[in-house]
Amino acid sequence: MSEKTKFDTIVIGAGMSGGWAAKEFCDKGFKTLLLERGRDVQHIKDYPTAMTTPWEFEHRGKTSYKDKTDNPVINRCYNYNETSEHFFVKDTDHPYIQDKPFDWIRGYQVGGKSLMWARQVQRWSDYDFNGPKRDNFAVDWPIRYKDIEDWYTKVEQFIGVSGNRDGLDALPDGDFLKAWDLNCIETYFQDIIKKNYSDRHLIYARCAHLTETKDIHLEQGRGLCQNRNLCERGCPYGGYFNANTTLIPWAKKTGNLTLRPHSVVHSIIYDEQQKKAVGVNVIDAQTKEKLEYFAEVIFVNAATLNTNLILLNSTSKRFPNGLGNDNGLLGKYIGFHNYKAFVNAFSNKATDKKMISTRPTSTYIPRFRNLYKQDTDFLRGYAVAFYTERKKKINTTGFGSTLLNNLMETGHQYLPWKVGAGMMGETIPKEENQVTLDSYKTDDWGIPLLHISVGYDENDRKMVADFHQEFSRMFKEAGFTDIETINTDRNPGLDIHEMGGVRMGNDPRTSLVNKWNQLHLCKNVFITDGACMTSFATQNPSLTFMALTARAANYAMEQIQKGTLL
Record: fold of 1-162+209-330+497-566: FAD/NAD(P)-binding domain (3.50.50)
Pairing of strands 203-204, 97-98: unpaired
Write down the pLDDT at residue 566: 72
Mind giving me the DSSP string for 279-340?
EEEEEETTT--EEEEEEEEEEE-S-HHHHHHHHHH---SS-TTSTT-TTS-TTEEEE-EE--
Write down the pLDDT at residue 409: 75
CA distances from 236 to 42, 87, 191, 219, 392 (A): 11, 15, 37, 16, 29
- The answer to whether the CB of 240 falls within 8 A of the CB of 360 is yes
Nearest to 203 by CA among 388, 367, 366, 422: 366
Write down the pLDDT at residue 506: 97
Strand pairing partners for 279?
A: 269, 294
- When mean pLDDT is compared across 65-69, 110-114, 397-401, the lowest value belongs to 397-401
Residue 474 pLDDT exceeds 90: yes
Pairing of strands 518-519, 522-527: antiparallel
Residue 3 pLDDT exceeds 70: no
Average pLDDT over the chain, rounded to whole? 95
- Compute how many other C-beta atoms are within 10 angstroms of the C-beta atom of residue 164: 13
Identify the three-state secondary structure at position 114.
helix
Arithmetic mean of pLDDT, 138-153:
98
Cα–Cα dist 450/442, whole Å = 9
Helix ranges (H only) for 454-502 are 458-477
- The answer to whether the CB of 72 falls within 8 A of the CB of 104 is no
- The answer to whether the CB of 395 falls within 8 A of the CB of 405 is no
- The answer to whether the CB of 109 falls within 8 A of the CB of 39 is yes
Q: Confidence class of residue 139 from pLDDT cuts 50, 70 and 90?
A: very high
Write down the pLDDT at residue 165: 97
Write down the pLDDT at residue 556: 98
What are the boundaries of each domain within the chain?
Answer: 1-162+209-330+497-566, 183-205+337-426+456-491
Nearest to 518 by CA among 326, 299, 322, 331: 299
- The answer to whether the CB of 246 falls within 8 A of the CB of 159 is yes
Pairing of strands 518-519, 363-365: unpaired
Cα–Cα dist 49/227, whole Å = 17
Write down the pLDDT at residue 410: 67
Write down the pLDDT at residue 413: 79
Write down the pLDDT at residue 411: 63
Q: In this structure, what are the phi and psi dihedrals at residue 363, rounded to the nearest 5 degrees?
A: -105, 170
Q: Confidence class of residue 1 from pLDDT cuts 50, 70 and 90?
A: low
Strand pairing partners for 422?
A: 342, 385
The CB-side HSE value for 446 (13 A sphere, CA atoms) comes to 12
pLDDT digits (tens, 9 = 90+) for 494-531: 999 999 999 999 999 999 999 999 999 999 999 999 99
Write down the pLDDT at residue 395: 79
Length of the chain: 566
Report how far Cα 56 is from the mean position of its chain's Cα atoms. 30
Evaluate if pTM is beyond 0.85: yes
Arithmetic mean of pLDDT, 551-560:
97
Residue 85 pLDDT exceeds 80: yes
Nearest to 157 by CA among 176, 180, 138: 176
Q: Confidence class of residue 4 from pLDDT cuts 50, 70 and 90?
A: confident
Angle between helices 16-27 and 542-562 (to 10 degrees): 30
pLDDT digits (tens, 9 = 90+) for 391-424: 888 878 888 888 888 778 766 778 899 999 999 9
- The answer to whether the CB of 461 falls within 8 A of the CB of 423 is no
pLDDT digits (tens, 9 = 90+) for 245-296: 999 999 999 999 999 999 999 999 999 999 999 999 999 999 999 999 999 9
Residue 332 pLDDT exceeds 90: yes
Arithmetic mean of pLDDT, 370-378:
94
Strand blocks (E) in 392-447: 417-426, 434-442
Residue 72 pLDDT exceeds 60: yes
Specify the DSSP element, H or E, that contains 7.
strand 6-12
Identify the three-state secondary structure at position 119.
coil
Write down the pLDDT at residue 7: 98
